[in-house]
Structure 1
Amino acid sequence: IAQFSDANIVTVYNFEVKDSTAYLIMEYVEGTTLERFLREHDGDLTLDVVAHVFSSIAHALEVAHSHNVLHLDIKPANVLINRQGEVKVTDFGLATLADANGTGRAGGGTIGYMPPEQMRSEALDVRCDEWALASLTYEMLVGDNPFFARDLPRAAAAIENAELVLPSLCWDDVEEGIDDVMFYALDPDPAERYATVREFDEELMPYLGDVKAGKAELSRLVNGVDGEGEDEDGEGEPAPAAPRVPFAEHLTPRVMAVVARVVSVAAAALVGAVALVNFPAFGPGVFSNPVFWGLLAAVCVLAAIKPHVGALASFAILGVSLTANGAYAPGILLFLGTVIWWWFAARGSDAPAVAALLGPLSGAVGFAPLSPVVAGSLIVSVARAAATAAFAGLCALALGSLGTSGMIDWNAPMYWDYATMSGAVSAGSNAVADPDAVASAVLSSTGIGAQTQTRLGGMLLKPGTWCVFASWVIAAAAMSALSRWGMSRKVDVAAALVGTVVLVLGVCAAAWAANPASWTPPSTMALIGSIVPGLAGVVLAAVGIPDKIRQ
């Protein structure tokens, strides 16, 4: 159940075993159960409320069924309503995984909400949950559950012989078509029911009310407010303010997916553009070449659909581009590193891809350590977090070899068109637009390949480079290990602080390694470039984003 991340399903954050006790760590829902709500507010029920409750439970079941999970115990006591009027399904205690045929078996159930096939311990499929949802919905519409009984034989007889009240007779503004929909879903024979909960949902919702209005009304009732600003005693006291919804709670799976894809597309576009602009085959008129724009668009589309595939494509193309310009060492290292990292750490997972792509994106403006910080924050596996940080370090080395000779900043505004700048020096002074800028990046006319490889060799020979590289890997691994150990907001904040300290120690160690005899503090830019990403991780942890995204 922990694989689910849906607003209508109570989140399971973790599970532990201590001594002889096994327990779940779950989301706390402040509010009430649907069972208690129906008991206390039976006279306040409206079609809008029914619509909201029904659609929320139906959506939760669709999510579970899409993961081949059957709930098998849908009932009002297992439906929670929080103070914002959100409906959440909980207690998957009887849930089972469906087999290849979509069937499973239950070890129990609740009389009144389980169909005959569940009572007979037969093979069950999604239509079992559909019947339970229909029974619960019928109870909301009619005000009674006719399937209650003292034992299973009587319950089975009640289902087979029940004289059901027509739901349309209980509401003045409901069409008779609702009766057929409900009776289809409540049929004792599963073959006569709707094939899926989605079909049941699509057929019933046109007869119910407005979902948004139902949520607002449900929130008002759960908060104990009756009528226009009056409390339950009718004394006219102002309605209590609804509790502030934590920022992390607004991060629904859809929002998180959109954010991940926006970041991935932006980073993949940057890396892909740098690689393709410098590709020798395109020549000077690269921006007027439709092939260039087609390839760049393809990289962006891949990143939007599957961030991990977009990361593979963009980094691999950059490796090929460097190699094509004669920078064989950084190009081949980057290409092979990309393939190895993707296969072992990022294949099928978006978190490592987003973390790695953030390296060039943030490194373009001097904050490349954001990549290991994000890797440590979002990746639960310590090995994958460390591998992603190591790959981010490899990318930083390759990009730094283009001119800055440093890992924290590769200065994208100056060095994105590295092949053209090298060619300008080779062609003579007349082709140089900005001699000062070019002189700072290219010191000779030996060609981009030789220059880049010389810078990379110089970086690798400096002990300080390895100090920074090691600090990235250690920071990501430590943050991931601490977060996995605690799985709480406070632990995430502590982990981010530890990561920040490790990054700062890395640049300090690099400054010492540059001159062991007379240590001087690292440059201001190096400190800022390490502290700011670390503090960004602290802020994200403080508002609960890493924990939410991990789920």
Structure 2
Amino acid sequence: MRRRLDSLKPGTRLDGYVLEKPLGGGGFSVVYRARQIDNGQLVVIKEYMPNKLARRNRRGEVQAKNENTESRFSRGRKLFFQEASTLATLKHSNIVNVFNFFQANGTVYMVMEYQDGKNLQHYLQNRRGGLSETFLRTVFPPLLDGLELIHANDLLHLDIKPSNIHIKHGGQPLLLDFGAVHGFPQSRLEQLGQVISPGFSPVEQYDSKGYVGPWTDLYAIGATMRACIEGHAPVNARKRQDHDTLKPARIAFRKRYSDSLLRTIDWAMEVDPLLRPQSVAQFRDALAVETLLEQETPRSAFGRLASALWGKG
């Protein structure tokens, strides 16, 4: 049975915004569609709401569940605020724009630009995988550029997966949902809790003593690329650690995609973090070894992508 989302009611006003409806939530946050009161602009607001550490009282305030969770909740709230302030300074065409953050109701809120477009997960489900090499080589290099900026600011995304990638009108990809973002390097012992997306999270995110770093996000990138081919999430990394039954992409899909693309995906998805690319630059270089099978300019490639997504050029 699905757990009831502990969210604020539609119509609630917060710091110049009015909430329209909850869009979803995870272990650490609730996401709302909202509107700016003074100009009617649609926005997305993410609320720090760790459901294992906190609860909402009748006044809508978020507070620690008990004395045992008070320190972790307070530390998490502080980190969420610090990271929101950092994300607000990261401006990149392939990263969702965080343009405001504030404290209210005993917690912290992050305000992001609302984006129309096609969610990659929905597109993937409709197509049942089999996305072309042109698609992969069009969408993922710009995402890597945005991810590189995140890493350059000593931050990690830690929840890259198809549902956190949108394709804007015109074909440009956008990396969404920074609710799991953390600084690095650090061990899981120093983090507030585990953010796990089965199939996309590598083994170090399951391990309280595992060290996360750029290699963690790159595993998720590789897994997301593989999901675009297969149409579903890869095998859980914890199961792969115990007994790896995942057939390498270079073998499973060799008749449909270039060897260099498939080997790059396999490299990113190595179970051992030390065997993966350690930086976006390393991964990008490997991905660029072979050019598109059909030589296209970036503009024509994005045009083909837009046509595939929205039925027009």
TM-score exceeds 0.5: yes
- Which of 282, 286, 295 matches 1:199? 282
Matches within 5 A, 1:70-469: 70-99=156-185, 105=191, 107-121=194-208, 122-148=210-236, 155-159=237-241, 160-167=243-250, 170=253, 172=255, 174-207=257-290, 209=292, 211-223=298-310, 225=311, 239=312
User: Which residue is 1:40 aligned to?
Assistant: 126
- The superposition leaves residues 500-550 of structure 1 with CA deviations (integer Å, 9 ceiling, x where unpaired) of xxxxxxxxxxxxxxxxxxxxxxxxxxxxxxxxxxxxxxxxxxxxxxxxxxx
1:16, CA displacement in angstroms? 2.5
The CA distance in 1 between the partners of 2:302 and 2:254, in whole Å, is 20
1:25, CA displacement in angstroms? 2.0
1:104, CA displacement in angstroms? 7.1
User: Which residue is 2:90 aligned to?
Assistant: 4
1:56 is the counterpart of 2:138: no
Which amino acid is 2:274 matched to?
Answer: A
1:168, CA displacement in angstroms? 6.0
1:156, CA displacement in angstroms? 0.6
User: Which residue is 2:45 aligned to?
Assistant: none
Give yes or no for contact 1:142–1:167 (8 Å, CA) kept in 2. no
Sort the Cα spacing of 1:207 and 1:39 in 2 relative to 1 into closer, same or farther, 3 A: farther
The CA distance in 2 between the partners of 1:206 and 1:52, in whole Å, is 15
1:172, CA displacement in angstroms? 4.2
Give yes or no for contact 1:49–1:213 (8 Å, CA) kept in 2. no
Give yes or no for contact 2:199–2:234 (8 Å, CA) kept in 1. yes
From the two aligned structures, give the one with the greater strand fraction. 2
User: Which residue is 1:452 aligned to?
Assistant: none
The CA distance in 2 between the partners of 1:104 and 1:18, in whole Å, is 26
Sort the Cα spacing of 1:163 and 1:43 in 2 relative to 1 into closer, same or farther, 3 A: closer
Which amino acid is 2:238 matched to?
Answer: A
1:171, CA displacement in angstroms? 5.8
- The superposition leaves residues 218-273 of structure 1 with CA deviations (integer Å, 9 ceiling, x where unpaired) of 222332x1xxxxxxxxxxxxx4xx8xxxxxxxxxxxxxxxxxxxxxxxxxxxxxxx
Which amino acid is 1:119 matched to?
Answer: Y
Any idea what SS the aligned residue of 1:13 has? strand
Give yes or no for contact 1:69–1:95 (8 Å, CA) kept in 2. yes
Matches within 5 A, 1:468-479: none
1:133, CA displacement in angstroms? 0.5
Sort the Cα spacing of 1:60 and 1:123 in 2 relative to 1 into closer, same or farther, 3 A: same
Sort the Cα spacing of 1:44 and 1:182 in 2 relative to 1 into closer, same or farther, 3 A: closer
The CA distance in 2 between the partners of 1:222 and 1:214, in whole Å, is 13
Give yes or no for contact 2:118–2:167 (8 Å, CA) kept in 1. yes
The CA distance in 2 between the partners of 1:108 and 1:169, in whole Å, is 29
- The superposition leaves residues 414-437 of structure 1 with CA deviations (integer Å, 9 ceiling, x where unpaired) of xxxxxxxxxxxxxxxxxxxxxxxx
Which amino acid is 2:124 matched to?
Answer: L
Give yes or no for contact 2:130–2:228 (8 Å, CA) kept in 1. no
The CA distance in 2 between the partners of 1:187 and 1:68, in whole Å, is 23
The CA distance in 2 between the partners of 1:133 and 1:163, in whole Å, is 17
**So what's the TM-score if we normalise by structure 1?**
0.37
1:123, CA displacement in angstroms? 2.0
1:144, CA displacement in angstroms? 3.8
Any idea what SS the aligned residue of 1:161 has? coil
Which amino acid is 1:111 matched to?
Answer: P
Unaligned ranges ≥5, structure 1: 149-154, 226-238, 243-551
Give yes or no for contact 1:127–1:195 (8 Å, CA) kept in 2. yes
Which amino acid is 2:239 matched to?
Answer: A
The CA distance in 1 between the partners of 2:165 and 2:190, in whole Å, is 22
State the Cα RMSD in Å.
Answer: 2.7
The CA distance in 2 between the partners of 1:45 and 1:178, in whole Å, is 13
Any idea what SS the aligned residue of 2:171 has? coil
What number of residue pairs does the alignment pair up?
219
Give yes or no for contact 2:129–2:232 (8 Å, CA) kept in 1. no
Any idea what SS the aligned residue of 2:303 has? helix
Give yes or no for contact 1:168–1:176 (8 Å, CA) kept in 2. no
Sort the Cα spacing of 1:29 and 1:61 in 2 relative to 1 into closer, same or farther, 3 A: same
Sort the Cα spacing of 1:100 and 1:38 in 2 relative to 1 into closer, same or farther, 3 A: closer
- The superposition leaves residues 141-161 of structure 1 with CA deviations (integer Å, 9 ceiling, x where unpaired) of 34443324xxxxxx5123541
Percentage of identical aligned residues: 24
From the two aligned structures, give the one with the greater helix fraction. 1
Give yes or no for contact 1:71–1:96 (8 Å, CA) kept in 2. yes
Give yes or no for contact 1:9–1:89 (8 Å, CA) kept in 2. yes
Any idea what SS the aligned residue of 1:15 has? strand
Q: Which runs of 4+ in 1 moved over 6 A?
A: none
The CA distance in 2 between the partners of 1:193 and 1:216, in whole Å, is 33
